[in-house]
């Protein structure tokens, strides 16, 4: 089974709210909420992919970020290598550039939304983090 490399931005604003987006119909895990991100292109680092996807999907430019977690998740029909970056400073206003719904939610509200299973470990990590 081929492994797909994915880079994901977990964007936290100064009010300690997290940016989430609704996955569109017709894609894997459609109708679930996610953090902005996508496939790492050939000759691209995970960090470059996170910054590109964030700009393409929601119009934000990450200016301060760090790798929060990397893991591999097996859905049975696909294997994902995931790189989650915590973005704490950015330029721009978040909007769904691909027509997707976007919203800012609190740390506690994250558990009220249905995310792909591959996101669970990082959501647990966010929940456990107190700042």
- Within 10 A of 49 (CB to CB), how many other CB atoms are there? 22
d(CA 38, CA 100) in angstroms, rounded, equals 14
Average confidence (pLDDT) over 85-100: 96
Using the 8-state DSSP alphabet, how is residue 109 labeled?
Answer: G
- The chain-wide mean pLDDT, for the chain, equals 94
User: How many CB atoms are closer than 10 A to CB 10?
Assistant: 25
Read off the tokens for 43: 């000759």
pTM: 0.93
When mean pLDDT is compared across 26-30, 37-41, 65-69, 73-77, the lowest value belongs to 26-30
Domains parsed from the chain with CATH numbers: 3-128 (3.90.79.10)
């Amino acid at each position: 089974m081929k492994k797909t490399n994915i880079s994901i931005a977990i964007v936290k604003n100064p009010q300690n709210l997290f940016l989430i987006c609704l996955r569109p119909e017709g894609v894997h895990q459609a109708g679930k909420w996610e953090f902005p991100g996508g496939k790492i292109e050939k000759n691209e680092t995970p960090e470059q992919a996170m910054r590109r996807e964030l700009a393409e999907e929601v119009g934000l430019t990450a200016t301060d970020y760090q790798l929060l977690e990397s893991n591999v998740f097996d859905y049975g029909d696909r294997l994902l290598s995931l790189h989650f970056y915590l973005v704490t400073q950015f330029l721009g206003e978040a909007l769904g550039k691909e027509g997707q719904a976007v919203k800012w939610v609190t740390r506690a509200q994250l558990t009220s939304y249905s995310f792909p299973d591959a996101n669970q470990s990082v959501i647990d990590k966010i929940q456990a983090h107190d700042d």
